[in-house]
A = this chain, B = another copy of it.
Amino acid sequence: MFDDKNKKVTSIKELGEFKLIDHLTKNFELNDPSTLIGVGDDACVIDFKNSLSVISTDLLIENVHFDLTYVPLKHLGYKSVVVNLSDIYSMNARPTQITVSLGISNRFSVEALEEFYEGIRIACKKYKIDLVGGDTSSSDKGMIISLTAIGHVSKNKVTRREGACDNDLLVVSGDLGAAYSGLQILEREKAVFSVNPKSQPDLDSYSYCIGRQLKPEARKDVFELLDELNILPKSMIDISDGLSSEILHICKSSKIGCNIFEDKIPIDPEVIKICDEFKINPLTAALNGGEDYELLMAISQKEYEKIKSHPYLTVIGHFTDTKSGAKLITSMNEEIDLNAQGWNSIS
């Protein structure tokens, strides 16, 4: 968040488009054996042999999806990758390649873009995927990031939004609401900073939630765990818009209802502390906060013994027939209709 003011600054004009791409991607090694041709031709070429290709894409716009006043560019690069990989894992597929397109105005220096690509490079290394293409363009509109991720999966292992059945368990990985809580802290610090630029925020006691907001991870470990446990979820989705919204996607696609239980929803104590400070109900953060990038799945009852005490996974409810609708059962044993509070307006 605090820049070294003596850093070297190279204008993008000095390099030009072709050299800029070469420069930013020269330290990227190829990590995946299926990558035949990476950056530097009209398109990349991938050899998937007999498995299915899975493709996911995202568009991120400055001041809509990210705020560079508190998001360091390296984290932004990392997060841009992770968000897309999460979509690939949610299909039960292994991500293998990404392409990154970038629109940038001349307020960004080459060094700033190096930071951004360093975040991408670290994510590629961690998730063992290859950067294989992209496009760099001028923009009079700040920074725009478009990312496409490619993965593969064998034909009988794809997990879709449809496929959940009556009585299946509703299972979620990790915990929920932390990225949203972290965002509240960052927004508050931004407001404080705008009033008093000399303020030095003490964010240590919020580090888990801020980390979940700035540097989320995709659940590669859960994807691998399911394979190890020999569990094939009947439906799976990643939680980007909030638990409620994602549950409703599965219910709609699978033509089914569900009951989830308030007291089963995994919430970190730090989330509860932050929600208390901001007078938000932690349940609201968990249901509607979004950006958790956890996996939500329908798992057959017969797998219960395999998962019941695993630290990565929590059974939060079960699916029911369509007529019942999607319900939250509160700790007071009240039934409430779930509804999506995700992205629902264009400003």
A-side residues, CB < 8 A to B, are 12-13, 16-18, 36-37, 40-50, 52-65, 87-88, 90-91, 93, 97, 99, 101-106, 132-135, 137-142, 144, 146, 148-151, 153, 155, 158, 160-161, 237-238, 253, 340, 342-347
Q: Which residue of B lies closest to A65 (CB)?
A: B137
B93, B103, B345: the one contacting A43 at CB < 8 Å is: B93
Whether B138 and A141, one on each chain, are in contact in the complex, defined by CB atoms closer than 8 angstroms, is: no
Cα-based distance from A101 to B54 in the complex (angstroms): 16
Cα-based distance from A162 to B147 in the complex (angstroms): 26
Whether A144 and B90, one on each chain, are in contact in the complex, defined by CB atoms closer than 8 angstroms, is: no
Sample of 15 more A-B contacts, CB < 8 Å, known A16-B344, A42-B87, A44-B56:
A16-B345, A17-B346, A37-B158, A41-B161, A42-B56, A42-B88, A43-B88, A43-B91, A46-B54, A55-B97, A57-B99, A59-B135, A60-B137, A64-B103, A137-B343
Question: Which residues of chain B come closer than 8 Å to A93, judged between CB atoms?
Answer: 43
Question: Which residues of chain B come closer than 8 Å to A62, judged between CB atoms?
Answer: 141
Do A106 and B138 contact each other (CB < 8 Å), given the known contacts A44-B55, A99-B55, A101-B57? no
Cα-based distance from A304 to B53 in the complex (angstroms): 39
How many chain copies?
2
Whether A135 and B65, one on each chain, are in contact in the complex, defined by CB atoms closer than 8 angstroms, is: no
Question: Which residues of chain B come closer than 8 Å to A106, judged between CB atoms?
Answer: 346-347
Do A148 and B61 contact each other (CB < 8 Å), given the known contacts A13-B346, A40-B161? no
Cα-based distance from A102 to B58 in the complex (angstroms): 9
Whether B144 and A59, one on each chain, are in contact in the complex, defined by CB atoms closer than 8 angstroms, is: yes
* Closest-CB distance, A61 to chain B (whole angstroms): 5
Question: Which residues of chain B come closer than 8 Å to A59, judged between CB atoms?
Answer: 101-103, 135, 137, 144, 146
Whether A103 and B144, one on each chain, are in contact in the complex, defined by CB atoms closer than 8 angstroms, is: yes
Do A138 and B346 contact each other (CB < 8 Å), given the known contacts A41-B160, A148-B99, A161-B41? yes
